[in-house]
A and B are shown apart, each in its own frame.
Chain A
Amino acid sequence: MAAESSELTISRIINAPPATVWKAWSRPEHLAKWWIPAPVECKVIKLDLRPGGGFETLMREGGGEFQPHVEACFLDVVPERRMVWTTTLAEGWQPIEPWMALTAIITFEAEGQGTRYAARVLHKTPADSRKHEELGFHEGWGTVIDQLAAHVQRLK
């Protein structure tokens, strides 16, 4: 499943100063409230805002057991300005094989009375994705997609 593009950017104005938006991101009790959509519950395990610090959240549906959600490592942290984290590393720069490899670059910029909040998310390049497919990493998923494509074709 090679991607044509591997990057996305979300940007919007939030009607609060950067300090407040930063607080909503940087304190576990706040992050847990919005990071995962209700009714799925979020538990913040690690939110160690420094380069090499861990970022880990779990999710739980319907009162079951908490499941892995995001495991990542902070690369860059400038309070109230910018945070960068990647799922290809865990706490302390430990390399890991994530379900989805990505680097998130989150920026907070004062604009008028509010904040220009932007999330730029980089995913693996198509070449990297193919390499993983050769290793069988995405085999099951690719098969599902191929069969889906064939099935949808039949429905036409």
Chain B
Amino acid sequence: METCLPSLDAAFHALADPTRRAVINRLMTSPAPVKELAEPFRMGLPAFLKHLRVLEDSGLIATEKTGRIRTCRVRIERLTEARSWLSEQHALWQARTDRLADYVETRMSGDENGG
């Protein structure tokens, strides 16, 4: 559970941006090369690649290089996880609470009187 949560946090961060949501929407239809994905956007390729990087780091898309062409595809399983926002929020708060308990119990023991 701990291991998948950073990705979900990142997934919601990634989806908070309109350009990145548009990329996801496009990829829902079919995988596409980076060049084609970048075309509708009025921004330089480096800026667009940064958006792709955020999406890839969040686990929402995967990219694959064949020869000189990099193709992107959406990772449906990650989107499905992010689909129910309340269950996502619940998991996030549960994990936060567990991390707090773990931190207090292992790193702050014997620290009750001040410090």
Contacts and interface: CB of A to CB of B under 8 A. Distances in A.
Contacts of B97: 10, 12, 117, 119
Interface residues of B, number: 43
Contacts of A14: 100-101, 104-105
A13 to B, nearest CB: 8
A144 interface: yes
Contacts, number: 118
Contacts of A100: 12, 85, 89
B79 A34 contact: no
A102 to B, nearest CB: 8
A63 to B, nearest CB: 12
A51 interface: no
B76 A148 contact: yes
Interface stretch (A19-27, A71-79, A88-96): A19-27
A148 B6 contact: no
B25 A143 contact: yes
Given A10-B93, A16-B112, A34 B100 contact: yes
Contacts of B83: 145, 148
Given A21-B100, A25-B100, A37-B2, A10 B76 contact: no
Interface string B26-46: 001000000000000000000
B61 interface: no
Interface in A95-137: 99-100, 102, 117, 119, 121, 123
B13 interface: yes
A40 B15 contact: no
27 contacts: A3-B86, A8-B90, A8-B93, A10-B96, A10-B97, A12-B97, A14-B100, A14-B104, A16-B104, A16-B105, A16-B108, A20-B111, A24-B100, A30-B108, A33-B107, A37-B5, A37-B6, A40-B10, A140-B22, A140-B25, A141-B15, A144-B21, A148-B76, A148-B83, A151-B76, A152-B76, A152-B80
Interface of A: 1, 3, 5-6, 8, 10, 12, 14-17, 19-21, 23-25, 30, 33-40, 59, 61-62, 67, 99-100, 102, 117, 119, 121, 123, 140-141, 143-145, 147-148, 151-152, 155
